[in-house]
């Protein structure tokens, strides 16, 4: 995890918030975007901003739709190669979350060129290129600026059959909920920034955040998969609420079934919680019903911002094993059934 030049500052010291913890709080974002809903929408735009979905989807013809998204953020780790890998993996995830196959990316780069060496910046870009190679796509160009904080990410594009698009708004009462990756990335990043995350914990965090959500296209081809999203900056609670509101039903989570990164709960108990976790809860906590005696540490994990988090899938109960098999075939051994969709308003219950 050593920097190429010891005189350079740690990457995380240059950012006021790392990874998807940089996202604007959901309540604030809703207000900022309110006016854009009045813009004219062509009929070819299958998915826009109406349900805060993961990407835009534009129908090209009866067999193809273009999926387009962008994501970028400040450093979540100090190693420049790992930062680039994480940021690119996270950006491509939104393509997978719609069920699409990635086809190309563009780089978005903002760097403090008088603070970081060319070698460090090149390593960040190399990390992004590694993630794109893993996804089987080229980087076709991009844009760079001189920035006070280090910023890196991608514009990512994918293709999908319009009949296979999976939105975050299709869950049906009776569906089961399946989560593909364990939670706790924000907690671990907070510990890292304070120098309290060991090498094994760092390796677990990198393993989770650089794992591409490749099950997406295979899951999209299952008719029994009714909704899909990825869990990122708003935490599990926030993205589950988006699914509930968009689908017009309630979601219930069995907290004991939710997979967590090893040591994440202990670290949260020691106070390694991001500021974004609190902002998330302030934005949507009123729509979350917690079981009596629900611990503060678990509430922090529930709203913990995930960088390059897992897919959250709503599917018919009799297809749950097929969904889990797809996850496991792609190397997601910790995927688990964590709850269900129920009749009722778009709220979240956690027991």
Contact (Cβ atoms closer than 8 angstroms) between residue 186 and residue 304: yes
Residue written as token pair 């991608």: 154
Annotated catalytic residue, options 20, 132, 249, 315 = 20
Q: What tokens does 268 get?
A: 């949260």
**DSSP H/E element including 91:** helix 80-97
Q: How is residue 4 annotated by DSSP? A: S
Going by C-alpha positions, the residue among 134, 135, 114, 120 that lies closest to residue 83 is: 120
Residue 302 host element (H or E): helix 296-302
- CA 260, distance to chain mean position in Å, is 15
Is residue 68 within 8 Å of 104, Cβ to Cβ? Answer: no
Residue for token digits 């590694």? 130
Using CA atoms of 317, 321, 325, 328 in order, give the dihedral in degrees to the nearest 10.
Answer: 90
Give dist(CA 309, CA 301) in Å, integer: 13
Do the Cβ atoms of 206 and 82 come closer than 8 Å? yes
Residue ranges of E strands in the chain: 45-47, 56-59, 65-73, 101-111, 139-146, 151-160, 176-179, 225-230, 250-253, 288-290, 311-315, 336-342, 348-350
Please confirm, yes or no, whether 22 is among the known catalytic residues.
Answer: no
Q: What is the DSSP letter of 125?
A: H
Active-site residue numbers?
A: 20
């Amino acid at each position: 995890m050593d920097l190429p030049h010891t005189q350079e500052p740690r990457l995380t010291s240059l950012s006021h918030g790392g990874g998807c913890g940089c996202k604007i709080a959901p309540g604030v974002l809703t207000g900022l975007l309110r006016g854009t809903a009045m813009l004219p929408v062509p009929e070819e735009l299958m998915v826009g901003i109406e349900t805060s979905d993961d990407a835009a989807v534009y129908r090209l013809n009866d067999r193809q739709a273009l999926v387009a998204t962008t994501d970028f953020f400040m450093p979540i780790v100090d190693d420049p190669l790992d930062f680039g890998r994480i940021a690119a993996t996270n950006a491509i995830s939104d393509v997978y979350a719609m069920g699409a196959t990635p086809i190309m990316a563009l780089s978005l780069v903002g760097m403090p060129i008088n603070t970081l060496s060319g070698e460090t910046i090149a390593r960040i870009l190399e990390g992004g290129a590694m993630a794109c190679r893993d996804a089987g796509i080229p980087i076709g160009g991009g844009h760079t600026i001189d920035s006070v904080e280090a910023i890196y990410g991608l514009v990512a594009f994918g293709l999908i059959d319009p009949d296979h698009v999976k939105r975050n708004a299709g869950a049906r009462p009776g569906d089961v909920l399946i989560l593909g990756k364990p939670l706790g990335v924000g907690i671990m990043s907070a510990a890292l920034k304070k120098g309290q995350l060991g090498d094994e914990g760092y390796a677990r965090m990198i393993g989770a955040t650089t794992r591409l959500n490749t099950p997406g296209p295979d899951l999209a081809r299952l008719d029994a998969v009714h909704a899909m999203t990825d869990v990122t900056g708003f935490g599990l609670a926030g993205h589950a609420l988006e699914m509930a509101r968009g689908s017009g039903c309630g979601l219930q989570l069995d907290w004991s079934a939710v997979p967590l990164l090893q040591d994440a709960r202990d670290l949260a108990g020691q106070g390694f919680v991001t500021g974004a976790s609190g902002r998330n809860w302030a934005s949507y906590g009123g729509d979350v019903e917690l079981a009596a005696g629900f611990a503060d540490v678990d509430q922090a994990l529930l709203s913990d911002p995930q960088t390059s988090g897992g897919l959250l899938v709503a599917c018919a109960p009799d297809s749950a094993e097929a969904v889990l098999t797809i996850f496991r075939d792609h190397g997601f051994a910790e995927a688990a059934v964590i709850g269900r969709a129920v009749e009722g308003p778009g709220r979240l219950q956690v027991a």
